[in-house]
Structure 1
Amino acid sequence: MLARRRVDPTWLSHPDYVETYGPEVADICALAGFPPDPVQELILDLTFAIGPDGKSAAFEIDIIGPRQQFKTGVIKQMELGWLFVTEERLIVHSAHELDTTAEAFRELADLIESAPSLSKRLAPSRGERPGISEGNGRWAIELTNGQRVKYKARTKSSGRGLTGNKIVLDEAFALQPTHMGALLPTLAAVPDPQVVKASSAGKADSLVLHEAKDRGRAALSPRQVYVEYGDLDAHKGCRDSDCDHAKTARGCAFDDEERWGRIMPALHGRVTVETVRSMRQSMPPEEFGREFMVWWDDPEDEAGLPLEAWGLCADVASAPISRPVFMIDAAPKSKSAAIVAAMLRPDGLIHLEVVDHRPGTAWLPGRAVQLLKHRPLDWVIDPGGPAGALLPDLITAKIEPRQMSTRDLGQACEAFSAAVENHGLRHLGDPVLARAIRSAARRDIGDGLWAWSRRRSDVDITTLVGATGAFWGLSVVPPEKPKPPPPVNADVPLGVASETNDLATAGF
């Protein structure tokens, strides 16, 4: 009997839940002679978790890990659970390759047929295998009550025809936005849908998987289960800094068997060290790195900023102590506008906060006047952008913003980006700003500098431009002079400041 080695996921996030059918699903899998290991038990518990509303706690389940470890097995276990525990009407299983799809069908059919208590529920048919249909690229398993599992290979550009109560998207590294754009709207009327994406590490063009990883590692989606077994030190650890990971390389991270043990939960069990050694010697280095070390390829178009890094900067309890610098920004054609504040915290980090974000721009000068009560250290605006049209109204209201040059803008974007990636700022988790962070595109402005591109971005980025400018503005404004301590004989109780920061107490 193989050892049941427990290795915790490298990254794990999931919704809260009140109960789970995971143990019942594990029992059904054991009846089929395919009991889950500890990793699979965890995933089953989260997949079959029930929220307070009585429905599945998770809408999407994303499982990432090395080859031959747990993904293929846990998908079969999920499908057994959906058939024989929660009794779903229709389960659709798809993969990128036709052969992978066919193999998944055969393995689940064999499991059901091998267990008398399960096979007796297969629908009668005229063929040799009751309830099992195969031929002409169409595979299905059907039970006596009409429940079905259908298997389909995805086309390169379409996810149409994949609708069901539960959807499995294996080989998710090949998913593209067109697949999800065709699939997800069809689930809107399904009472309790779930979508499973399973894969090894993403390739450069794995746009859907990269986006799921960024959200999952940062725990940004409340109904996403994200389980990833990977390498915390990916792309690091070789003896030579310019190591090409060749099979003859000395001191290469790919040959670190202790690291293998942290990445591969099935190692020393159904997957042996000798097997992985053989894979290392037989596979191209880049493929071994992606498939067994779970080293992700960098995205082809690194547009915005990684949500994982942005999520690690979140602090809903962040409390600034300085007066603010406000940045004003507007979208093209005055479609929307935003005011974002930057303030210092006691630990010296910059606190960013979206003060206001609304359609149109007519509201903004009046709102800016209201904010004068916070005695701002400065105002910032990009006069060359759409917000420049607001300058006359602001000046009339006796607000004269610091006007950024093109070089200022480029340096601000570079500094802001570095602060996010190094977790050097804090924010309150505003969802509109998070969308802009992930989706904003960049444009070259010369001399090695870049700025956020409104034209190439597919979302409203006024909050992001505002956060960038406010961050820069606080770094260039003269620092506040420290307040003198109150007189010893002042009528102020000991330990109570004579003047409170209205930003921290009243908010915006």
Structure 2
Amino acid sequence: MQRLGYTPMPWQRYVWDVALEVNPATGILAYRDVGLSVPRQQGKTQGLLAVKVHRAAAWRRQRIVYAAQTRTMARERWEDEFWVTIEASRLARRFVARKANGHEAIIHRNTRSKIGITSNTERAGHGPPLDLGVMDEYFAHEDDRLEQAFSPAMLTRPMAQLWWASAGGTEKSVPLNKKRQQGRAMIEELWRTGIHPRSAYFEWFAPDELPRDDPATWRVSLPALGFTVTEDIIQAELEKLDPGEFDRAYLNRTRKATPPPDPNVPKATWPGLVDRESKANTDVALALDVAQDRKTASIAAACRRPDGRIHLEVIAHRPGTDWVVPAMARLHRLWSPVAVAVASSGAPAASLIDDLVAAGIDVPKDRAKPERGDLAVMRSGDVMEACGQLADAMNQGTVRHLDQVPLTAAVNGARTRRVGDAWTLDRTNSLADISPLAAATFARWALVIRGPHVLEDYDIADSFA
């Protein structure tokens, strides 16, 4: 890369050091497939060119093929970037370019290895065996046709490698999104088992919970920051670009279509209800909820503050459901809550009611005379009432929260459905896991409804101050 005229950045060295490892037991490359997901303008193109030039110079008669969004764009990059860079570098005398349309190749004079291009079609890569395939700008690929064309051409080449590289795409970037999901799962499996796969995956991105306007977030996602990119430039891009496009280009997030706002959830009021100094007191109501796919569950608390406003807080938001009943039983012993609310009537959390009772959280013998700490099993009408109450409280400013990521994400992604003339939270169509919001909604309802029965000093008027 230095001979091409570039100074390698640490992140590029890291990718090469891993992706080009040789297995000492076999003498061949350790990784047959390499994935690289990195934001725009971080040096991806120069890094990929170095890989291709290295391959052409290191082994004889290698067939190297590059593909981009289309053949036209691949040709443009091949001629205007790849060959121009080589021609102006210290390596110029070692290569010659053949520019005939359909037969483009940058040829190493000694090894006779060729760097060519191809179109993004099912026939790409057909012909002689392929040693190195590079699928660039993978966000623009509509399906797996290119990989399905490249892979068979590599079967007889023991040192073959297939690279894909891209910045973040959109929801329509199905192949890229699948690759990123598989790559993350592969890394987690590697950490869990210690067994290295035959694929290497590299990704720099900012998780959704990190604020886009924080330089600390940029340092997470932009490996070239401080080398070829400055914070001032990124700040200028932030001020200029649409937030979704900024996230895609510089935080390497998948750009999602922005749906119309739900008319029933007043999420615009949510930021104004933040109070990071707000704290729970001893008279709390607890509630739990389970996501529709049962992959996550939440426990939330609600309590009345001295100023009459209601404090909402997510106590726990974790994967699975096996932890919920033991956690709720422990909280029940520690806090002696006003009530423990859980929705029935077909709600996912209804399956935990019997276990809660077995753990010592009783259903009131007389629904009209509950005792402190009893279960508040919510019927459909109770759930609709709770949803409407929270929406009113948000509009009236009578609740406060800590701006916890799971709860704020649930508010922003919540969708509702009509039930007669009322509405309820819709787990199926919501854009995020809404179990934190449902739990907070139910906890507030339990406080307002059960409070007058079990708290001697409870003034229900304070809930609507």
> Normalization by structure 2: what TM-score?
0.51
Structure 2 partner of 1:374: 335
Matched, 1:79 2:79: no
Structure 1 partner of 2:441: 468
SS in 1 for 2:142: coil
| Count of residue pairs brought into register by the alignment | 358
Give the AA of the match of 1:469: F
Cα deviation, residue 352, structure 1: 1.6
CA-to-aligned-CA distance 1:105-144 (integer Å, 9 cap, x gap): 333322432233344676999976313313566899xxxx
User: How many Å separate the matches in 1 of 2:329 and 2:118?
Assistant: 68
Confirm or deny: 8 A CA contact 2:135 2:165 kept in the other structure: no
Confirm or deny: 8 A CA contact 1:328 1:339 kept in the other structure: yes
Confirm or deny: 8 A CA contact 1:82 1:88 kept in the other structure: no
Which of 106, 117, 133 is the equivalent residue of 2:116?
133
Give the AA of the match of 1:354: I
Structure 1 partner of 2:402: 426
SS in 2 for 1:62: coil
Evaluate the alpha carbon distance shift between residue 124 and residue 59 of structure 1 in structure 2; reply closer, same or farther with a 3 A threshold: closer
Structure 1 partner of 2:313: 352
Structure 1 partner of 2:285: 325
Structure 2 partner of 1:504: none
Which of 258, 272, 279 is the equivalent residue of 1:299?
258
Q: How does 1:252-267 map to 2 (within 5 A)?
A: 263-264=236-237
CA-to-aligned-CA distance 1:73-127 (integer Å, 9 cap, x gap): 8442343466679999999976555543443333332243223334467699997
User: How many Å separate the matches in 1 of 2:281 and 2:426?
Assistant: 32
Structure 1 partner of 2:385: 408
Cα deviation, residue 59, structure 1: 7.3
SS in 2 for 1:405: helix
Matched, 1:156 2:142: yes
Gaps (5+ residues) in structure 1? 1-24, 36-40, 64-70, 141-145, 198-210, 230-259, 268-286, 483-508
Cα deviation, residue 353, structure 1: 2.6
Cα deviation, residue 374, structure 1: 0.7
Matched, 1:444 2:404: no
Confirm or deny: 8 A CA contact 1:95 1:171 kept in the other structure: no
Matched, 1:104 2:77: yes
Cα deviation, residue 193, structure 1: 1.8
Evaluate the alpha carbon distance shift between residue 217 and residue 467 of structure 1 in structure 2; reply closer, same or farther with a 3 A threshold: farther
Confirm or deny: 8 A CA contact 2:314 2:436 kept in the other structure: no
Confirm or deny: 8 A CA contact 2:387 2:424 kept in the other structure: yes
User: How many Å separate the matches in 1 of 2:58 and 2:437?
Assistant: 43
Confirm or deny: 8 A CA contact 1:323 1:376 kept in the other structure: yes
User: How many Å separate the matches in 2 of 1:261 and 1:411?
Assistant: 42
Task: Give aligned-pair identity as a percent.
Answer: 15
Cα deviation, residue 395, structure 1: 1.0
Structure 2 partner of 1:113: 86
User: How many Å separate the matches in 1 of 2:180 and 2:58?
Assistant: 18
Give the AA of the match of 2:341: V
Matched, 1:339 2:299: yes
SS in 2 for 1:401: strand
Tell me the C-alpha RMSD between the 2 structures.
Answer: 6.5
Evaluate the alpha carbon distance shift between residue 441 and residue 59 of structure 1 in structure 2; reply closer, same or farther with a 3 A threshold: farther
User: How many Å separate the matches in 2 of 1:472 and 1:88?
Assistant: 70
Matched, 1:217 2:218: no
User: How many Å separate the matches in 2 of 1:159 and 1:222?
Assistant: 34
Q: How does 1:2-13 map to 2 (within 5 A)?
A: none
Which of 201, 205, 216 is the equivalent residue of 1:193?
201
CA-to-aligned-CA distance 1:195-228 (integer Å, 9 cap, x gap): 579xxxxxxxxxxxxx97676739899996169x
Give the AA of the match of 1:339: I
Cα deviation, residue 376, structure 1: 1.9
Cα deviation, residue 364, structure 1: 3.2
Evaluate the alpha carbon distance shift between residue 104 and residue 462 of structure 1 in structure 2; reply closer, same or farther with a 3 A threshold: same
Give the AA of the match of 1:401: A
Matched, 1:180 2:161: no
Gaps (5+ residues) in structure 2? 20-34, 108-113, 126-130, 152-160, 187-196, 226-232, 250-254, 366-370, 459-465
CA-to-aligned-CA distance 1:26-73 (integer Å, 9 cap, x gap): x667x16xx9xxxxx9xx66x54869x999xx974334xxxxxxx4x8
Structure 2 partner of 1:454: 427
CA-to-aligned-CA distance 1:447-475 (integer Å, 9 cap, x gap): 5x643323446987544421332355557
